[in-house]
Amino acid sequence: MTRTAVDPATIAGSDDKGEDEFTAAGRRPTINDVARLARVSKKTVSRVINKSPSVKDDTRTKVEAVIKRYGYAPDPQARGLAFRKSFLIGLIYDNPNPQYVIDMQQGILNAVRGSGYELVVHPCDRRAPNFLTDVRNFVQRQKLFGVVLPPSVSEDERVAQLLTEVECPYVRIASVAFDAPECMLVTHDSEGAAEAARHLADAGHQRIAFISGPSTFKSSHERGRGFADGLAERGLELRPEYRREGAYTFESGVACGKDLLAMRLPPTAVFTGNDEMAAGVYRAARDAGLEIPRDLSVVGFDDSPLAERVWPPLTSVRLPIRDMGRIAAEKLLERALDKKERTQDDGEVFPKLVERRSTASPYSP
């Protein structure tokens, strides 16, 4: 039986500082030191570290005691060299939203904390000519253990194909499933958008607009589709003249907002693909002399901190981004643990509408 399992967690999580000859000096114990101190061969130490089943319990205990006592942790470089793998998880992203990225990082780190894995971040530009080469170099040279792909990189089939080619495990985070379940974390954006639609429809709005993100994001379509479906449930239609395509930026939100409000029959409610653009609509409304929510209801997407900082506080659809990062990383790590233990999470999360004070019934003078 070949064991490819790799899990230094038990030892890497140790908070000991080491002792004796290893305290003062900067020198850390090696596997040879541990072998000597435990009076076993280094091969046995290796067996313990890699959780080989053919080690007697008291030998294991003895070795683990020495490991813990002297704060030994295997050198990831040496181990990686032998395994032809590193213990680095890559986060490849092309996302303008800092809060999204930070939360995702935090989530991933929560999952790998104390496991000996580390997180390497790699922002990129999907439109750059050397984008794919860059990603390939990054993944292959670092021999990444796995990568997490949030939108919009997750939607790029070229990236998925490339990672398959170089045999690098990945988890794609996206609003709908378009890959094998173990490679996907589905966020069901459409559900959240539908909830926003029902919320606005139930408030009595008829002229309802939608500002999407760029069409290069699948989530843009998905949020649009969910929103239209939600309106349809209430017998309303998302009319083409009330649709605009933004760029997920504040500025594009201002522009689309101004454009919508300049219509002969402007909308009384706007749903935007993210909070940044909602903030842009706030600006447009203010410039048009309109008051939110009296003259215009606004709903955003992301529930970023910004939603609480603008006035009035923005009703927004929340995605549990930290959890997403955590689950994605867990899915990667599962593959190393021989799939023994599966977490409860099935690779799905659902958004949820957070109601604040930016929506009201349409004003009828």
- Residues lying near DNA in the complex (CB under 7 A) are found at 2-4, 30-32, 39-47, 49-50, 53-56, 58-60, 72, 74-75, 78-79, 81-84
How many CB atoms lie under 10 A from the CB of residue 51?
Answer: 17
Partnered with residue 93 across adjacent β-strands are 123
CB of 90 to its own copies, least distance (A): 9
**Rounded to whole angstroms, how far apart are CA atoms 157 and 164?**
11
When CB distances are held under 5 to 8 angstroms depending on the partner's kind, the choice from its own copies, DNA, none that residue 56 binds is DNA
For every residue of 238-273, DSSP letters joined together read: --GGGEEE--SSHHHHHHHHHHHHTSSS--SEEEES
Q: How many residues bind its own copies (CB under 8 A)?
A: 54
Measured from the CB atom, is 75 or 291 closer to DNA? 75
Evaluate whether 299 touches 269 at the Cβ level (below 8 Å): yes
**Rounded to whole angstroms, how far apart are CA atoms 14 and 63?**
14
Return all residues near 238 (Cβ < 8 A) that are at least 6 apart.
208, 210, 224, 227, 228, 231
- Residue 271: C-alpha distances to residues 175, 203, 205 (Å): 17, 14, 12
Distinct helix (H) and strand (E) counts, the chain: 14, 11
When CB distances are held under 5 to 8 angstroms depending on the partner's kind, the choice from its own copies, DNA, none that residue 111 binds is none
When CB distances are held under 5 to 8 angstroms depending on the partner's kind, the choice from DNA, its own copies, none that residue 340 binds is none
The residue from 308, 323, 334, 345 that contacts its own copies (CB under 8 A) is 308
The residue from 210, 227, 248, 282 that contacts its own copies (CB under 8 A) is 282
Q: Does 165 bind its own copies (CB under 8 A)?
A: yes
Q: Does 300 bind its own copies (CB under 8 A)?
A: no
The residue from 50, 59, 99, 361 that contacts its own copies (CB under 8 A) is 99
Closest-CA residue to 117 (of 163, 85, 156, 160): 85
Q: Does 167 bind its own copies (CB under 8 A)?
A: yes
1-60 positions binding its own copies, by CB under 8 A: 12, 15, 17, 26, 28
Evaluate whether 94 touches 247 at the Cβ level (below 8 Å): no
**Rounded to whole angstroms, how far apart are CA atoms 290 and 312?**
13
Evaluate whether 87 touches 116 at the Cβ level (below 8 Å): yes
When CB distances are held under 5 to 8 angstroms depending on the partner's kind, the choice from its own copies, DNA, none that residue 250 binds is its own copies
When CB distances are held under 5 to 8 angstroms depending on the partner's kind, the choice from its own copies, DNA, none that residue 2 binds is DNA
Measured from the CB atom, is 63 or 183 closer to DNA? 63
Measured from the CB atom, is 254 or 269 closer to its own copies? 254
Residues that bind its own copies (CB under 8 A): 12, 15, 17, 26, 28, 73, 75-78, 80-81, 86, 88, 98-99, 101-103, 105-106, 109, 116, 118-123, 130, 133-134, 136-138, 140-143, 165-167, 250, 276, 279, 282-283, 286, 305-306, 308-311
